[in-house]
Amino acid sequence: MQKIFRTIPFLLLIFLVVGSCIIAENEPPANIDLVQVRITRVVDGDTAYARFADGREEKVRFIGVDAPEISESAGGLEPYGTEAAKFTRRQIDGNNIWLEFDVEERDQYDRLLAYLWLAIPEEINDSEIRAKMFNAHLLLEGYASQVTFPPNTRYIEYFSQFTTEARKANRGLWNLSGGNNNTRPE
C-alpha cells in the first residue's frame, strides 16, 4: 500500500508536465495575441470575410501584401489576379485560422487589417512565419507583392525577404514578363 502512495505523487507530476506541454502547443507565444475565426468567403487574393466566435462577420484585408485585382470596381482584372484569388480560396476558404492585428486595426474602408496564421506559431521566427503565416505564403509563392502602410510594419523585414526570394525565382506574378522584375506587372 505504501508503494502505491509513493507512486501517486510521481504519476501526478508526470500528468502535470505532459498536460502543460499539450496546452503549450495550443497557446500562441506570449508576445502576440491571436483571434480564431472561420473564413466564410474569399473576395480576392488579399481580402476575405471572417466569422468570429460571437457570430459577427467582418471583411479582412491581409496586412503587408497586395494581390492583383479581379474586380472591375477596384481597377479591373489585373494579370495574375485570378490565380491569386484561386490560391487564396484553395488555402483558406471555409477554414479556421487565427488573426493577428498590428498597430492600426482598420483601414480607411473600415476593413479589419490582419496577419493570417494557418496554425498557431510556437514562436515568432523565419521558419514559423514561412510555414504558418498565410500572408507570407502569398509573397513566397508570387501571388502578391509587398505593400507597406505604416504603422502596420511588424513583419516588414520578413516580407521584404520573401518578396525578393519570389522575384529572384521568377515565381507567380514575377514571371509574367519573363524576367526578373523589380516591380509588379501593371
The residues annotated with a catalytic role in the active site are 61, 69, 111
Expressed in angstroms, the distance from the first to the final Cα of the chain is: 79
Residue 1: other Cβ atoms inside 10 A: 5
Q: CA-to-CA distance for 154 and 177, rounded, in angstroms?
A: 31
C-alpha distances (whole Å) from 38 to each of 51, 81, 110, 115, 127 are 5, 23, 19, 14, 24
Q: What angle do CA 115, 163, 107 make, to 5 degrees?
A: 35
Q: Which of 118, 88, 85 is nearest to 100 (CA)?
A: 118
Write down the residue that cell numbers 523589380 correspond to: 182
